Amino acid sequence: MFSAGSRTYFCGMTEAGRNMAGGTLSRPDQAAYSAQCFNERERIMHFIDVCVASAFSKNNRGGNQAGVVLQGASLNRKEKMRTAHQLGYSETAFLSQSELADYKLEYFTPTGEVPLCGHATIAAFVVLNYFGQLKKCEYTIETKSGILSIAVKDGGGIFMQQNTPEFYETLELADVVDCLGFNADTAPGNLPVQIVSTGLRDIIVPVENPLVLETMVPDFAAVSKLSQKWNCVGIHAFSLVEDGKLTAVCRNFAPLYGIDEESATGTSCCALACYLYQYGVKRNQYVFEQGRSLNRISELYVSVNAGDDTVDGVWIGGCGYLESLKTIEVE
């Protein structure tokens, strides 16, 4: 049975080494064991059960993959970082019990921890649902961005509350065109390049032509440098479209956190929806497509509540599915 937890093994030890792990060695044996550890580089291996799920999928295909570890409390920070790095997904979510909410979630990219991740949260609840752990329609989660609400909809849709938007600096178009490799003339003049956050700071970049957006080749070193300068996760570029329910197509670049491009970015799409509402594209629900350039088309829904032309509530949602179960070894 898949336990979605972790198990610890002492690898490459002599009998003395295994006894030492249990705390039963005499003083001479302890000295011998210390020498053995130095010479043979003894390792303690954790075998960690990981669920791989895709969030924001379209017709049960595509979406953004995330690792999900249900027994996050059994791992320390270093082990979580190594797990995320070995998995190589843009984010891995680690679940544990919370005294403040139904669950505590921590999020790690291949290079470090981030306070919040939309698609990894959706993936985590897809996994909980798969294992029959969801018994109600509303949950709360504890994250480093605060206590947030989760709604489980009929039909499998999962929506996650985001923080109310904060609008920060407006950048010059020249600051980003070199990063993204497109001509300044292709940017719409009525929409600014601006930093917006509903939990994570993103640089929102409008691109007039969807074809330009699709074919742009970013300079990832320049994107990292710009993101670091403005204390942002990355760049979220978009083009408005007129295609039925679809609002815009998007691409997201966060190489500073080891993610050159991501196929679905929930927090960034929430920031984009609030940005659009702020600048006159007012809707109750926005639908974004992302991931086409990665051949993993994703569909993200953002619901906006507003009063007096000010957004006072925003939710990101979509569907997902469990892709696989795996066990990895982590030192």
Instruction: Render pLDDT for 13-38 as a digit per residue (tens, 0 to 9).
Output: 344 433 434 444 445 455 554 445 44
Tell me which of 147 and 18 has the higher pLDDT.
147
d(CA 29, CA 47): 28
198: exposed, middle or buried (C-beta count within 10 Å: 0-12, 13-18, 19+)? Answer: buried
The whole-number pLDDT of residue 307 equals 80
Q: Enter the tokens of residue 250.
A: 């998007």
DSSP result, 28-85:
HHHHHHHHHHHHHT-EEEEEEEEEEEEEEEBTTB--EEEEEETTGGGS-HHHHHHHHH
The average pLDDT across 82-109 equals 96
- Can you point out the beta strands (E) in 129-227? 138-143, 146-152, 158-162, 166-171, 193-197, 201-206
Nearest to 315 by CA among 171, 202, 148, 155: 148
Chain position carrying tokens 């940005």: 275
d(CA 255, CA 168): 21
Residue 169 sits at the vertex; the CA angle it makes with 168 and 174, to the nearest 5 degrees, is 145
Residues 6+ apart with CB under 8 A from 177: 183, 184, 187
Q: What tens digit of pLDDT does each residue of 286-321 get? A: 999 999 999 999 999 999 998 878 899 999 999 999
Kindly state the DSSP code that residue 226 receives in the 8-state scheme: H
The Cβ of residue 9 has, within 10 Å, a number of other Cβ atoms equal to 12
Q: What tens digit of pLDDT does each residue of 45-68 get? A: 778 999 999 999 998 899 999 999
| pTM, 2 dp | 0.80
Tell me which of 118 and 44 has the higher pLDDT.
118
Q: Percent of the chain, pLDDT > 70?
A: 85
Q: Name the amino acid, one letter, at 68.
A: V
Binning pLDDT at 50, 70 and 90, where does residue 7 land? low
Q: Is the pLDDT of residue 275 over 90?
A: yes
* Contact assessment for residue 142 and residue 103, using Cβ atoms and an 8 Å cutoff: yes
The whole-number pLDDT of residue 12 equals 41
The whole-number pLDDT of residue 15 equals 42
Binning pLDDT at 50, 70 and 90, where does residue 1 land? very low
Looking at the DSSP bridge assignments, the partners of residue 103 are: 141
Chain position carrying tokens 């691109």: 207
The average pLDDT across 243-269 equals 94
Residues 6+ apart with CB under 8 A from 154: none
Looking at the DSSP bridge assignments, the partners of residue 64 are: 55
- Ordered structural domains, the chain, with CATH: 6-41 (no CATH), 49-149+322-330 (3.10.310.10), 166-319 (3.10.310.10)
Binning pLDDT at 50, 70 and 90, where does residue 273 land? very high
- Report the mean per-residue pLDDT for the chain: 87
The whole-number pLDDT of residue 262 equals 94
Q: What tens digit of pLDDT does each residue of 229-238 get? A: 999 999 999 9
Nearest to 265 by CA among 139, 146, 107: 107
The whole-number pLDDT of residue 182 equals 81
